[in-house]
Amino acid sequence: MTAHPVYLDHNATSPLRPAAAAAMRAVLDDVGNPSSVHAFGQRARRLVDGVRQQIADVLASSPLDVVFTSGGTEANNLVLLGAQAERLIVSAIEHDSVLGAARASGRPVDLVPVDREGRIDLDELERMLAARQERALVSIMFANNESGVVQPVAEVARRVSAAGALFHCDAVQALGRIPVMPALLDADFVTLSAHKIGGPAGVGALVVRGAHALAPLLHGGGQERFRRAGTQNVPGIAGFGAVIQDVLQSNDERTRLAAWRDHLEATLSAAGGVVIGAGAERLPNTSAIAMPGVKSETQVIALDIEGIAVSAGAACSSGKVTRSHVLEAMKVPDALAESTIRISLGWSTDQDDISRAIAAWMALRERTRSNRGRDAA
Ligand code: PLP
């Protein structure tokens, strides 16, 4: 009997939760544009507005603040390009959708550095805020997709607001994995995405707290209160709603994943693995771990052959082997950065998956060690 494949790449995308699949299936057999006045349209609108309310509840916000988008990338682009600010301050470890949009905005951009554990330098942020008069938009993520390191978001919000600037937080990796409230209570903009937590890909939201002006990226109809034109992705939004419901009740899941992740790290570290960001608070599901001397691509391929799916850094940059800007910003030495893989757990992970991942990692470590021994002989 061949063993089932082990999926440990939830930070890239998570399998669809059964509750999300069921909610989407129900809608797929239905018809209705939420902007239509007839009964079909109104039914779709009620569904969309119900999920809008759910998202607002998660962030103690108003449903009027929720702008549905095609995912985290669009939400990040919408705020970085559309918020009213003369300059941008973003951390060096943001997702490429923040960094790319910041560069494309044509506005001056300051990059907040991080320490060796991947935590942003709050003093440097403060200095950047004070350095110029023009209004800044500050974009700092809640938790990093590669390292899992969690940022001091409440403190960032406090300092940004004291400086009269705007604060955007990309909470894509944090939602459902750690409590995001009350830390986000004072964030002006929050990015969310459904597919990292078992919802469908292609749907997300930007929460715009209060009456901040936002220039739309897309022009057309008056959907989303003129902030995002285009017919809403009703099945996607239904899946997003189902997953939020599921995830907010899943304390047990978080505790379980944290215990397995800790066991995995303890075992691999004892065998020579090096955990990146080990000294910082991290997401309970994420482990960036180096096998010194073995290239990350080699590890990813070798583990894949054993049926274990992990990634060599950010999913968006895997496939093409580029240096990770996150590990670079953390000043991880090149040799270690080049041998780091990301193992990320999620709702479908079980204990057997962890045991198999550990066994495959150990076997690879043993093989590469004895090959090196042979080469040296
Ligand atoms: N922000 C972070 C931190 C992410 O990890 C990702 C996905 O990798 C995104 C934004 C983009 O989200 P989406 O895939 O929904 O466009």
Site to probe by mutation for ligand 1, drawn from 9, 77, 97 as the one with most ligand atoms within 8 Å of Cβ, is: 97
For the whole model, what pTM was predicted? 0.96
Question: What is the pLDDT averaged over residues 280-308?
Answer: 97
Using a 10 angstrom Cβ sphere, with 0-12 exposed, 13-18 middle and 19 or more buried, the burial of residue 111 is middle
Site to probe by mutation for ligand 1, drawn from 150, 172, 197 as the one with most ligand atoms within 8 Å of Cβ, is: 172
Ligand 1 pocket, 73 CB below 6 A? yes
Site to probe by mutation for ligand 1, drawn from 94, 196, 286 as the one with most ligand atoms within 8 Å of Cβ, is: 196
Residue range 6-14+251-370, CATH number: 3.90.1150.10
**Contact of 361 with 369, CB cutoff 8 Å:** no
Question: 173 CA to middle of ligand 1, Å?
Answer: 8
State yes or no: pLDDT of 376 exceeds 80: no
Q: What is the pLDDT of residue 268?
A: 98
Question: 73 CA to middle of ligand 1, Å?
Answer: 6
Q: Which of the residues are catalytic?
A: 316
Q: Residue 229: CA atoms inside 13 Å, Cβ hemisphere, count? A: 8
Question: What is the pLDDT averaged over residues 179-202?
Answer: 97
Q: What angle do CA 136, 75, 330 make, to 5 degrees?
A: 65
Taking all residues of the chain, what is their mean pLDDT, rounded to a whole number?
95
With cut-offs at 50, 70 and 90, classify the pLDDT of residue 316: very low
Any residues with CB less than 8 A from the CB of 116 and at least 6 apart, and which?
A: 330, 331, 332
Ligand 1 pocket, 236 CB below 6 A? no
Tell me which H or E stretch contains 193: strand 189-193
Question: 72 CA to middle of ligand 1, Å?
Answer: 5
Question: 365 CA to middle of ligand 1, Å?
Answer: 31
* Residue 356: count of CB within 10 angstroms of its CB: 20
For ligand 1, atom 8, name the residue with the nearest CA: 12
Question: What is the pLDDT averaged over residues 358-365?
Answer: 98
With cut-offs at 50, 70 and 90, classify the pLDDT of residue 350: very high
With cut-offs at 50, 70 and 90, classify the pLDDT of residue 284: very high
Q: Tell me what percent of the residues of the chain surpass a pLDDT of 90.
A: 91
For ligand 1, atom 9, name the residue with the nearest CA: 72
Q: What one-character DSSP code corresponds to residue 86? A: S
Ligand 1 pocket, 95 CB below 6 A? yes
Q: What is the pLDDT of residue 2?
A: 62
For ligand 1, atom 13, name the residue with the nearest CA: 72
With cut-offs at 50, 70 and 90, classify the pLDDT of residue 227: very high
Q: Tell me what percent of the residues of the chain surpass a pLDDT of 70.
A: 96
Q: Which residue has the tokens 């902007």?
A: 35
Q: How far apart (Å, rounded) are the C-alpha atoms in residues 21 and 30? A: 15
Strand partners, 111: 90
State yes or no: pLDDT of 9 exceeds 90: yes
Q: How far apart (Å, rounded) are the C-alpha atoms in residues 94 and 11? A: 14
Confirm whether 6-14+251-370 and 18-247 share one CATH topology: no
φ/ψ of residue 205, rounded to 5 = -155, 150
Q: What is the pLDDT of residue 211?
A: 87
**Beta strand 166-170 with 136-139: parallel, antiparallel or unpaired?**
parallel
Ligand 1 pocket, 170 CB below 6 A? yes
Question: 9 CA to middle of ligand 1, Å?
Answer: 13
Residues 130-166 pLDDT 10s: 999 999 999 999 999 999 999 999 999 999 999 999 9
Q: What's the topology of domain 18-247?
A: Aspartate Aminotransferase; domain 2 (3.40.640)
Domain boundaries, the chain: 6-14+251-370, 18-247
**Contact of 367 with 375, CB cutoff 8 Å:** no
